[in-house]
Structure 1
Amino acid sequence: MKFKTLSTIAAIGLTAGFANAAMAEECGSLTMAEMDWASAEFMANVDKIVLEAGYGCEVELIPGATTTTFASMNEKGQPDVAGELWINAVRDPLAAAMAEGRLHSVNGGPIDGLGEGWWVDPKFAADHPEITTVEQLLEHPEFFPYAEDETLGAFMGCPAGWGCQLSNASLFRAFDMEEKGWTLVDPGSAAGLDGSIAKAVERGEYWFGYYWAPTAVIGKYQLQMLDWETPWGGSENWDGCIVKAEQECLDPQPTSYTESEVHSVITDRMMKEGGLAVDYLGTRVFPGEVMNAMLVYMTENQATGEDAAYYFFEEYEDLWSGWVSAEAAEGIKSEL
């Protein structure tokens, strides 16, 4: 399924007063999901400020989560916007909803540099620039000695009970990592996983394991994601084996990690009536390093999504001003 996108609508020469009136009339009122994780909370508040201060919209933020927000949009047409919808969990029903015209993807990449995968610490990346892929690194378990048996290389997986525990265990077997001298380490908890990264980086030691972005941990510790030489092995291998328990996946085949996709999705009403708001949603893209930096800011300052949004507008004007018209930019600046 190829997702629909919108081409950018060029701004035309209008006086500021006339433009604001026209924008308010075109945009109107809308509801937007404020998802229950930090990056989505931050993004929703950035969008709210842009649309209200820049384009004269009236925006109501509604608490949301991936599956519940999608179901509500699909069945009830509310909220109008899900700015950061991770579609792997709803791919098939979303494709059906788009084919039938109920929902539309207006931005197939509102955040770049995101995804799940296998990462190394920045010191290792700097010390060994010749190793850029998973397959190259798997030949060198000696770089990551396991604390309990230094003859083995330590690969840090996911805590028991997480979905990624199963996929990483399957990939460990698919790539014959035990035979190559590796051991799969269970960090025990989210705090244990984060703590293993912090400990290694702060001590100048090497770290290799699973993580995902955008996250504050990636931003704070500057982890580097490894590429894969092995191509994607297909959904039959991934969904039918890799993500399942060992007894249901007896013969996992090597594959790259599944691609994570985030889209900005809107309802059909919004598509037809949203005007310049739809154009903006189709234009704005948060670079991964910026999003990670904002998540670090939120963590270290215990900042809300709204707090972080105002900080973003002050610190990254060169970025966001490219998403909006000159008139909208002036309106946003007056709000700060």
Structure 2
Amino acid sequence: MRKVVLFFSLCTLLVLAACSNGASKDSIKVIKFADAGWDSIRVHNSIAQLIVEKGYGYDTEVTSGTSAATMQALEQGDLNVYMEVWTDNIKDVYEKAIDSGKVIKVSTNFDDNSQGLYVPTYVIEGDAKRGIKAVAPDLKTVEDLAKYPQIFQDPEDKDKGRIIGAPSSWVVSEQLETKLETYGLDKQFNYLAPGSDSAIVADLAGAYKKGKPWVGYYWSPTWVTASYDLTLLKDKPYDKKAWDESKGTEFPPNDVVIAVNKDLVTQAKGVVDFLSKYHTSSELTEDALKYMNEKGVEPEEAARWWMKEHEDVWTTWVSDEVAQKVKAALK
């Protein structure tokens, strides 16, 4: 049995701490997963939940919140598993949790991801089939945006361009604002922090359908980068000192890891062994996300489809006995 629990601020951790998941230091009945608000973590949660429920016999729950709040909940033991920790996006929070010894990295889910400011490729190259002309043929880097504020005109402030950022609750939003200030782009562009991931996608989709210029934050792997022809604007090569001081480089290399609360190692050793073998890629993740979007299905259904399509992948993470149980449940 699976449940979904929502929380919206760190204050609610006090409530969560008073709740029981039937856990002690040595046993557990319900394994709780973190949902920090994007589709790929939801798909990976669903894949892992299916295996944990059908293969190992545990109930599962999902708790939603910001990256910082869910990481704190993992550290406190109110959550047990975090399937997609973007380690450099929440570097301070993550390293604090690891250093405390209360959170353990068990594997790298994928490490071939990218993030930054994207534009539709037709903005640079045009699209003859759609009758779209290239309006920014020399746009190659983030700093090059300084040449094109009128191309990306803010509909509410026609004297400036507009850059679509990340939701303000995401750590990356502050990093983007600093980056734009470092490059002086804040003088020519307004920075808009949408309320959600879906708001970013809606804005991009609206522009893309009309063949209009658009520039904004996104990342891979997502169904968006798998479905739309987008170009990631180049940035200065990553340099830790420069990044820490001004965010004036490309984003840091980002290992996307699976982390667990330390007690899960003794509470559910078999599950932790399985998670230690869990490894995918941006391409594999985007397969599920693209299916999810094209078919209009929930993450759980996309996960079931993915597991049928990629049986050769996930069966290497578990024993033959567990694999047979899970395959029977997928029929």
Please indicate, yes or no, whether the TM-score normalized by the shorter chain is above 0.5.
yes
The one of 241, 252, 257 aligned to 2:251: 257
Do the aligned partners of residues 154 and 94 (structure 1) sit closer, same or farther apart at CA in structure 2, a change above 3 Å counting? Answer: closer
Post-superposition shift, 1:124? 5.1
For this pair of structures, how many residues does the alignment match?
290
What is the CA–CA distance in structure 2 between the aligned matches of 1:167 and 1:136, rounded to whole Å? 15
Give the TM-score of the pair, scaled to structure 2.
Answer: 0.67
Cα pair 2:287 2:306 within 8 Å, conserved: no
Q: How does 1:66-145 map to 2 (within 5 A)?
A: 66-75=67-76, 77-87=77-87, 91-92=91-92, 94-107=94-107, 109-114=108-113, 116-123=115-122, 134=141, 137-138=144-145, 141=148, 144=151
What is the CA–CA distance in structure 1 between the aligned matches of 2:74 and 2:243, rounded to whole Å? 29
Do the aligned partners of residues 236 and 131 (structure 1) sit closer, same or farther apart at CA in structure 2, a change above 3 Å counting? Answer: closer
Once superposed, which parts of structure 1, at least 4 consecutive aligned residues long, lie more than 6 Å away?
A: 125-128
What does the per-residue CA deviation read over 1:85-138, in whole Å, with 9 as the maximum and x for residues that have no partner?
Answer: 34457644543443453321112x31444454111324457669x989626855
RMSD: 4.2
Do the aligned partners of residues 94 and 135 (structure 1) sit closer, same or farther apart at CA in structure 2, a change above 3 Å counting? Answer: closer
For 1:194, the aligned partner's letter is V
What is the CA–CA distance in structure 2 between the aligned matches of 1:146 and 1:217, rounded to whole Å? 23
Post-superposition shift, 1:39? 2.6
What is the CA–CA distance in structure 1 between the aligned matches of 2:69 and 2:149, rounded to whole Å? 45
Where structure 2 has 5 or more consecutive residues not aligned to the other structure, the ranges are 1-26, 127-133
Q: Name the counterpart of 1:285.
A: 279
Do the aligned partners of residues 319 and 228 (structure 1) sit closer, same or farther apart at CA in structure 2, a change above 3 Å counting? Answer: farther
Post-superposition shift, 1:189? 6.1
Q: Name the counterpart of 1:39.
A: 40
What is the CA–CA distance in structure 1 between the aligned matches of 2:268 and 2:159, rounded to whole Å? 57
For 1:46, the aligned partner's letter is I
What is the CA–CA distance in structure 1 between the aligned matches of 2:257 and 2:233, rounded to whole Å? 24
Cα pair 1:85 1:263 within 8 Å, conserved: yes
**Quick check: which has more Rg, 1 or 2?**
1
Q: Name the counterpart of 2:208.
A: 201
Bigger RCO (CA 8 Å, 6+ sep): 1
Q: Name the counterpart of 2:224.
A: 217
Q: Name the counterpart of 1:158.
A: 165
What does the per-residue CA deviation read over 1:270-311, in whole Å, with 9 as the maximum and x for residues that have no partner?
Answer: 224543422321222332233334334444555333222212
Q: Name the counterpart of 2:179.
A: 171
